[in-house]
């Protein structure tokens, strides 16, 4: 009797032990998969965050003075007037170009720059007017026209033929239908910059100053031409796309130029951030207090 009770207790013990072993096997068998799934989820999130950080780092950022050096080439900066709603549209008028030289020695623009500067460096400021001397028609230069010329690789050549080629007559230059033309345009080796501090609000803005020599005027008191652009909003990236043409960005600044509120931008196939120079980072940048 004692032996039978012992056998029964032994069987019950083995059942309990077996159940515990099975439970342990199930638990340990499932945990690795759960951990793996959890690890994969964390990896996916981490990868997503990393890709986002890389994408942000791909946006090149430079301060105004870092970018606009006397050695800058292969860029045409465009001043675009804002409409009554403060916006840019395909029919927005282009009021001026800030042109740097082309490094392609085969281009007419490269050869034409020697007219202004033997070093073939610096900036030529081209003001665009509506009026014409010899022909009639709509000569307002619109953003959509500039966009198409840029995409087709013809913008530099068009600017040269209509404005910089001094061997061409006024009539020939006006035939380009690219805004009113002048006898010559001012040239500057480099730009200068000024920090503007609003004395009431302490708000910071920055001015881009162009002081160019116009060789057409022989009198030293007359041959300087001044242009300024007050940058009020930096880091401007405006997506632009017309049917049948690739997407581009207008990158640069928003502010006030000679013709009122406008954008000063260039075309780019990617976003680029141009920012105010940090205060006191460049001793050559003058600081002025303003009331507006």
pLDDT of residue 72: 95
pLDDT of residue 139: 65
CA distances from 27 to 17, 23, 41, 119, 166 (A): 15, 6, 21, 79, 87
pLDDT, average across residues 266-273: 96
Question: What percent of the chain lies above the pLDDT cut of 90?
Answer: 43
CA distances from 31 to 28, 36, 37, 243 (A): 5, 8, 10, 55
* pTM of the predicted structure, to 2 decimals: 0.77
Number of residues written out for the chain:
292
User: Are 240 and 212 a contacting pair, CB within 8 Å?
Assistant: no
pLDDT in tens, 64-78: 999 999 999 999 999
pLDDT, average across residues 251-264: 93
pLDDT band at 11 (very low <50, low <70, confident <90, very high): very low
Cα pseudo-dihedral 107, 111, 116, 117, rounded to 10: 110
Rounded-to-integer distance, Cα 13 and Cα 78, Å: 89
Q: What angle do CA 70, 76, 82 make, to 5 degrees?
A: 120
pLDDT of residue 205: 92
Mean pLDDT (the chain, rounded): 80
User: Are 289 and 199 a contacting pair, CB within 8 Å?
Assistant: yes
Rounded-to-integer distance, Cα 22 and Cα 41, Å: 29
Give me 45's structure tokens: 């999130």
pLDDT band at 280 (very low <50, low <70, confident <90, very high): confident
pLDDT of residue 57: 53
* Between 215 and 289, the higher pLDDT residue: 289
pLDDT in tens, 126-176: 988 765 555 555 567 899 999 999 999 999 999 999 999 988 998 899 888
- Residues 6 or more apart from 251 whose CB is under 8 A from it? 236, 237, 238, 265, 266, 267, 268, 271, 272, 273, 274
Residue 52 has pLDDT above 70, yes or no: no
DSSP structural state of residue 144: H
Rounded-to-integer distance, Cα 120 and Cα 100, Å: 9
Rounded-to-integer distance, Cα 239 and Cα 250, Å: 6
Q: Which of 175, 179, 177, 155 is nearest to 94 (CA)?
A: 179
User: Are 246 and 266 a contacting pair, CB within 8 Å?
Assistant: no
Rounded-to-integer distance, Cα 45 and Cα 42, Å: 5
Could you identify the residue written with the tokens 């430079």? Answer: 62
pLDDT, average across residues 167-193: 88
Residue 14 has pLDDT above 80, yes or no: no
pLDDT in tens, 77-116: 999 999 878 889 888 999 999 999 998 888 888 888 888 8
pLDDT in tens, 236-255: 999 999 888 999 999 999 99
């Amino acid at each position: 009797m004692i032996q039978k009770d012992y056998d029964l207790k032994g069987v019950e013990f083995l059942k309990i032990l077996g159940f515990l072993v099975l439970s342990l096997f199930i638990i340990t068998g499932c945990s690795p998969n759960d951990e793996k799934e959890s690890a994969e989820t964390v990896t996916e999130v981490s990868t997503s965050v990393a890709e986002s950080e890389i994408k942000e780092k791909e946006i090149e950022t430079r301060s105004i003075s870092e970018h606009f050096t006397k050695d800058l080439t292969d860029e045409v900066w465009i001043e675009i007037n804002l409409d009554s709603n403060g916006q840019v549209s395909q029919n927005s008028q282009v009021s001026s170009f800030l042109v740097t030289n082309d490094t392609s020695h085969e281009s007419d623009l490269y050869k034409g720059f020697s007219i202004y500067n033997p070093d073939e460096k610096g900036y030529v400021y081209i003001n665009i007017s509506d009026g014409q001397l010899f022909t009639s028609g709509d000569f307002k230069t619109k953003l959509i026209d500039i966009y198409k010329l840029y995409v087709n690789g013809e913008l530099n050549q068009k600017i040269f033929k209509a404005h910089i080629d001094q061997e061409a007559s006024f009539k020939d230059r006006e035939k380009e239908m690219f805004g009113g033309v002048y006898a010559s345009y001012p040239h500057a080796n480099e730009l200068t910059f000024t920090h503007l501090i609003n004395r009431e609000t302490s708000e910071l803005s920055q001015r881009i100053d162009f002081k160019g020599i116009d060789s057409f005027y022989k009198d030293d008191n007359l041959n300087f031409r001044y242009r300024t652009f007050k940058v009020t909003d930096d880091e401007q990236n405006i997506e632009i796309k017309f049917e049948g043409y690739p997407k581009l960005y207008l990158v640069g600044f928003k502010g006030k130029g000679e013709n009122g509120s406008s954008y000063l931008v260039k075309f780019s196939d990617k976003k680029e951030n141009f920012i105010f120079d940090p205060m006191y980072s460049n001793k050559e940048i003058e600081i002025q207090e303003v009331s507006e």
